[in-house]
Structure 1
């Protein structure tokens, strides 16, 4: 095992896949000589050249369209969004082209495309740089969506995404790049459609993903001292949602709390609640609680920004309220 940063895990995955397969290349703003906003592509241009690590103009719709075109013709592009918020400028290309071309072409084209980059609420990045776009893209047919949360799953998921023949969006949280943890030294892959059981418990199921995994872990540390026994699941796959893993847990605990950084209205939690109520309502002993960000643009002010996002103490209170 090697203890590395999350951004290094992503860099290793990219490097290994580029070395293995000459059809893999990276493009995006400042991915080349600058090494990417968070150094995920640092020095790769030295090893692979300026064509396979391609610096693009500030024109998201243009280089996303180019990436989709190259995927149609046999290459395997990795698009880095300097900030995932900017990908709204390429929403048409991602939805109408990447997501739908395999279907509208009658199966004549596959789109082996990876779109990855930083998102989420950082530290005073302002509203336009604090977007959580997972719910925007979840409604688009033909896409796979994952959210990494550890160096281990970041590397395993990215390698699987690069080899997948479908378009995959991989959300990375801006505050997790400097997270350091163990990663196997041998090659490994992780499935793009499975949740991770973070902690086994019997009293209540807590579902989360991305940065909120760590807010949940902080809350669980407090709850354990008070004698509670929660089960924690990291979704990882946001499309498709691993409803089987969720159902297995609900059948054991009969109670469910969902913690997300996404907005409450139309968020990932809303989709989980709909699926659980449709298929597993009879296993619930109480109403599902969802803890989500407030439906407002993220404030620049640090204290106000913190107030918009779910904090560990809110999770503790929600668990105690449900179990009382």
Structure 2
């Protein structure tokens, strides 16, 4: 067999091998690798791949972009699950010696806050995992759609001098992937019969106040219940790379100044310009509800009509 024929035969065999492997994968419901966000129109204020939106650099470090930081690593033992099926998510925080961390500082009523969000930011879970004596954390999770997700662990080690960290790791949910696009920016959102209105702007490199007003059936809700040490818990994620913003509540229940609604106030700083998703968790009548907003850093909230409840909110493992 001459050289040309040998190469042709080898290529044919290689193609047949990969074709067979693909077919088998389809039969056993393949795990979908981390997929990029659904294509969307590029906005002038969105960060580019190699620079932040504020003068070409990020004005404040964002969390969740690294799996390891300051000597600590998020060891995700469950890197993939199957969409639509309940699974046990397990992970460990390890120190620079590879040992499991077993002592954490309690913040907002928890030793560790766990967030799971889809790459397209249309599915969001705020989970409350439990820690075993050996340092292994676990929580049930049920993700509704196939695709790429990001797991965020927000914590502060109890070690003297340790700083608060947010580490991130990729999670894949197997199944048939269907791209989704977050709703357009809007100042109002609906959640389980509640309406939440957003006031204020998210500013790149500058702290600003965000106020969220909760109402139901057109009436202000004035008896919100404490949740994670405040009347609301707000998470902000940047579209594209899912940078995690640290958002701080203004006031707390019982301080003599903070009212239980209808407004909940937070202070936040965007690390750059761009499009962000805000997820507000609040408790009323014994249940936690999640309202989601799409905003652009540096721009006033737009729109007046309530946005559809497009974000998949709390799932299994969210203890109240």
Which TM-score tier does this pair reach, normalised by the shorter chain? under 0.3
Q: Which has the higher helix share?
A: 1
Normalised to the residue count of structure 2, the TM-score between the two structures is: 0.26
Q: Which has the higher strand share?
A: 2
Normalised to the residue count of structure 1, the TM-score between the two structures is: 0.26
Higher relative contact order (CA 8 A, sep 6+): 2
